[in-house]
Amino acid sequence: MSKKIEIEIDKIIKFLDSLAKKDYKKRLNVNFAKEFEIIGEYLKSLTKKLQKREEKKERFTKKLKQISRQRSELISAISHEFKNPISIINGYTQTLLEDKNMDDKLRDKFLEKIFNASSKISKMIDRLAIAIKFENNDLEPKKSQFDLCLVIKDVVNLMKDKYKNREIIVDCDTFIVYADKTMIEMVLINLIDNALKYSETDIKVEIKDKEVRVIDWGIGIKKDEIENITKKFYRARRNSWDNSMGLGLYLVSYILKLHNSKLKIESEYKKGSVFSFKL
């Protein structure tokens, strides 16, 4: 009798040891007496709970790593964007300080360059504030009336600084909308940047039938990926289309939703894509 009890207790000890090592696949079989069967059932229940908790912990850890990676990439991208306007301000300011007898027209031209660079930094800070509010689930649009065609042209000029050897065709006329201007700028920046990143020829931005359309003739997106690319942190694996930092199109969709709009995606693999929305 005591020998059988020892065997059952030894089984339980070994099972508990496997639990301590997070080996949840181990199975416990005790059938000597009812009391041992009750202990066995309790430990099986405990194992399931511990396994679920561990799986939840792994998912949470994975999500934290994704957020950490995304934030690191965001900081890196911001720091890279800031370098160009800051170097412009530094360069022209230094020249103005060194040349006290500079021609008035040239001085005014340099001051205009400094003003434009500082305005660019201000807009970048506004976009950064939106990104932070978005991460904190505290994003509310501040709407005003503005010409969407002018905003498109401003964003295209910004993109030309980044993609100096690329052609961006703009086809639009005055189109007044009521929306959050900075948020819509972010939408356009993301869509135009993606179009340039995943194509090698010209791209086109147009307003047609009250719809903004960003058209490229690049690598395109496979049908089974289209539904997923607007999901947070989603990265398509098979066709090299990786949704920027895993956040770009998710943020675009979120902003458009705040404006009672929706991102429309039409794409043919290896032929190109059209991203569009209405305001």
pLDDT tens-digit map of 187-243: 998 899 889 988 889 999 999 999 999 999 988 888 777 776 665 544 444 434 344
Same domain, 197 and 181: yes
Same domain, 148 and 271: yes
Same domain, 182 and 272: yes
Give the span between the Cα atoms of 166 and 161, in whole angstroms: 10
Same domain, 153 and 123: no
Q: How confident is the model at residue 84 (pLDDT cuts 50, 70, 90)?
A: confident
The CATH code of the domain that includes 123 is 1.10.287.130
Same domain, 19 and 60: yes
Closest CA to 250 of 66, 126, 54, 108: 66
Looking at 154-158, 160-164, 218-222, 235-239, which range is the least confident one?
Answer: 235-239
Phi, psi of 177 (to 5 degrees): -130, 165
Question: How many structural domains does the chain have?
Answer: 3
Residue 106 predicted with pLDDT over 60: yes
Same domain, 271 and 178: yes
Residue 161 predicted with pLDDT over 60: yes
Structure tokens at 36: 């041992």
Same domain, 152 and 233: yes
Section 49-78 average pLDDT: 74
Domain boundary pick from 102, 135, 168:
135
For residue 172, the model assigns a pLDDT of 96
The range of the structural domain enclosing residue 22 comes to: 2-65
Residue 261 predicted with pLDDT over 90: yes
Same domain, 80 and 59: no
Half-sphere exposure of 27 (CA within 13 A, CB side): 1
For residue 279, the model assigns a pLDDT of 92
The CATH code of the domain that includes 162 is 3.30.565.10
Section 64-68 average pLDDT: 74
Closest CA to 188 of 131, 251, 134: 251
Same domain, 52 and 89: no
Name the pTM for this structure: 0.60
Q: How confident is the model at residue 28 (pLDDT cuts 50, 70, 90)?
A: low
Same domain, 119 and 175: no
Phi, psi of 211 (to 5 degrees): -120, 130
Same domain, 148 and 265: yes
